[in-house]
Amino acid sequence: MKFGHILMAAALAAALCTSPHMARAQSDPRRDCADAGNPSPDVVIKGCTALIDAGRLAGQDLAAAAYNRGNAFLAKNDYDRAIEDYDRVLRQSPNDAAALNNRGVAWNNKGEVERAIADYTRAIQLDPNHALAFLNRGTAWQARRDYLHAFADYDQAIRLDPKLAQAFNNRGVAWHETHQNQRAIADYDQAIRLRPEDAPAFSNRSAARFTIGDLAGAIADAAQAIRLDPNYADAFYNRGNARFKSGDNGGAIEDFAEAARLKPNDAGAVNSRCVALAVAGRLPEAMQDCDRAIELDPKNAAPAAGRGLANLKAGRFDAAIADYDRALALAPRYANALYGRGIAKTRSGDRAGGEADMAAAVKLDPKIAQNSQFATPGEPAVAQAPAAARSAAAPTVSNPPGEPRSAPTANAAAAPNADWDRCQGKGSTSPDQQIGGCTAIIDSGKENARNLAGAFYNRARGWSAKRNNDRAIADLDQAVRTNPNFADAFSLRASVWMAKRNNDRAIADYGEALRLNPNSAPDLTNRCWLFAIVDRLPEAMHDCNQALTIDPGLATALDSRGFVNLKAGRLDAAIADFDRALTLDQNAPSALYGRGLAKARKGDRAGGEADIAAAQKLQPNIVQALAVLRLGPGRT
């Protein structure tokens, strides 16, 4: 998977044990734009927009912000804005394969398949090992029913990345669509082995098993898809099909109803419930559903045939014939409509016409007359069934860790790269899982230098969370050797040096981070705090002032400057800073403690003791935590 562009954010967890006032997370557009902490797409868009509109970014940094915002717009299905941002990236970096791939996804999802294919092709020319671009181009060829090219691209995607579950899933869909269901099932089996939590693969295998007559297997797979994703409408639809054909009409009605509830404008689900209700004799409800299905999709023959069945069951033969005529005008070789019209003609006295229609239907589908379970006494069997089971493929975005993937198409979700997801620490990933995911990426030998640096960085985050600071530093050393311009790797290494009480090295690393990204208010605040610890108070004041110029509402910068003023003996200024910090976070223990010390030194013993007591109530170890500042007499 391509690492692409990302503004990686420093993880300060390791530093919190030495600077408790820094534990209060502040909004930082740079970190929000980098998707640090997995914020919503709206947070990413807001953060990136703030960076872009500030006019301080240029070159690759501006392209990175536009790329991340484009991915966030893509996640919100705002394809036009996503394309605008990818255009911006490509003006800066015309050979950016990841941006081309993702713009292709946006074009594909807009229905502009030719443009999508052009972008994927260009991405492949630039990066012949871009497995996702092959996967996505295969999906686009498949949308055009160009299966020869689709299979070739899926095969190449799998050769490049044998663990790419979505490639097996999508190739399985292509096999299913070309009526090679055993091959489809084999590919779905592999997709499920690679991603056993992937609901679409189970639902798609359900569709293939339904097609070959394995109804029990189809029901079991659809049920598993529903367990994995209770809101997966097409899994209910597929299980409804299998239940209907196995004779469980009541279960089928329930499943089609749930599919229609989850996707109210899905004509197929509404029509399928119409058919199942008609077979059950619930004709008024059936007619209501059939009318709704025709309204939703007037050019689809299936809803017209469904209403024909309802009218046939109700004895309204002329109306049934009219509905079947409509269905056959849309689909002249529709066996169910021919057979149903034959029954209606026979019932209305046109025996010759009826027999001719039924014979034509049997010629198209020799088994159509064999299913008698839906016939009423004395009536020929009506082998009416809901529309075919569903399976679908979806394009996949080039997503570095922490960046959103494209929204799923109607029937299938794009499968994320599991190693990158774990490496980034997405969702409920534990530190050990994060370390394992990054190790798999590092050991694969497939990534370019930028991606590899990101994997070392993220693995360091895992080690830092486990308080294994030596291993974290070793990985961060590798990250900055691999990518010497990786500002966030320097920033994170600084925070780990802080945890090890090596203030000189921490200051040096924050210096490198700020050389690369001089407008990082959090890094300026952290270096201000370190300068205060080592009594370099003028430099501390400069950094805190600069941080507050960049972000006047950064409470931790006010808190840190308050301690600088406290150490310098500027008690009124210290109290003013702590007051401002507390207006932003009234339960900040370090600000309460610092203000208490400043009040006590000014002679307000009662006010000072009250603030200090409030701070200790919020954080009992506040005195020990701030001992690194060596505040001198009066701090207890």
Residue 626's φ and ψ, nearest 5 degrees, are -95, 5
- Distance (Å, whole) CA 597 – CA 636: 8
- Degrees, nearest 5: CA angle 174-135-214: 30
pLDDT of residue 35: 65
pLDDT digit string, tens, across residues 515-548: 988 888 888 999 999 999 999 999 999 999 998 8
Q: Is the pLDDT of residue 26 over 80?
A: no
HEC per residue, 111-167: CCHHHHHHHHHHHHHHCCCCHHHHHHHHHHHHHCCCHHHHHHHHHHHHHHCCCCHHH
In order of 172, 180, 370, the CA distances from 201 in angstroms are 9, 16, 32
pLDDT-wise least confident of 10-19, 239-248, 411-420: 10-19
- 387 pLDDT band, cuts 50/70/90, is very low
DSSP-derived secondary structure letter, 405: P
- pLDDT tens figures, 281-331: 899 999 999 999 999 999 888 999 999 999 999 999 999 999 999 999 998
- Which domains are present in the chain? 416-629 (1.25.40.10)
Residue 329's CB is within 10 A of a number of other CB atoms, namely 12
| Pair of tokens at residue 473 | 């530093």
Confidence (pLDDT) at 391: 56
Mean of per-residue pLDDT scores for the chain:
83
- DSSP letters of 480-549? HHH-TT-HHHHHHHHHHHHHTT-HHHHHHHHHHHHHH-TT-HHHHHHHHHHHHHTT-HHHHHHHHHHHHH
Residue for token pair 């109530």: 617
Q: Are 92 and 61 in contact (CB under 8 A)?
A: no
Q: 360-381 pLDDT, tens per residue?
A: 988 888 888 764 323 332 222 2
Q: Of 393-397, 439-443, 598-602, which range is least confident? A: 393-397
Q: Residue 10: is its pLDDT beyond 60?
A: no
Q: Which class for 281: exposed (0-12), middle (13-18), buried (19 or more C-beta within 10 A)?
A: exposed
Q: Is the dihedral of CA 261, 396, 431, 42 positive or negative?
A: negative
Q: What is the C-alpha separation between 366 and 382, in angstroms, rounded?
A: 13
**Whether the predicted pLDDT of 16 surpasses 50:** no
CA separation for the pair 132, 142 (Å, rounded): 15
**Whole-prediction pTM:** 0.59
Cβ(155)–Cβ(139) under 8 Å? no
The amino acid at 444: S
Which tens digits make up the pLDDT trace of 41-95? 898 999 999 999 988 888 888 889 999 999 999 989 999 999 999 999 999 889 9
Distance between CA atoms of residues 302 and 306, nearest Å = 6
**Would the pLDDT of 37 be above 80?**
no
Output the pLDDT for position 530. Answer: 93
- The answer to whether residues 582 and 611 touch, using CB atoms and an 8 Å cutoff, is no
Q: Mean pLDDT across the stretch 540-566?
A: 89
**Under 8 Å between Cβ of 75 and 41:** yes
Q: How far apart are CA 173 and CA 412, in angstroms?
A: 10
Cα distance between residue 224 and residue 200, in whole Å: 10
Q: So what's the pLDDT on residue 38?
A: 56
Whether residue 343 contacts residue 354, with contact meaning beta carbons closer than 8 Å, is answered with yes
269 pLDDT higher than 80: yes
- What phi and psi values does residue 632 have, to the nearest 5 degrees? 85, -170
pLDDT at 531: 94
pLDDT at 582 over 60: yes
pLDDT, greater one: 463 or 396: 463
Give the position of tokens 């797979």. 221
What would the two tokens of residue 481 be?
A: 């050797």
- Tokens matching residue 330: 């849309």
| Lowest-confidence region among 21-30, 129-138, 163-172, 546-555 | 21-30
For the stretch 178-207, pLDDT in tens is: 888 899 999 999 999 999 999 999 999 999
Residue 338 pLDDT greater than 80, yes or no: yes
pLDDT in the model for residue 625: 80
Residue burial 560-576, b: 16+ Cβ < 10 Å; e: rest: bbbbbbbbbebbebbbb
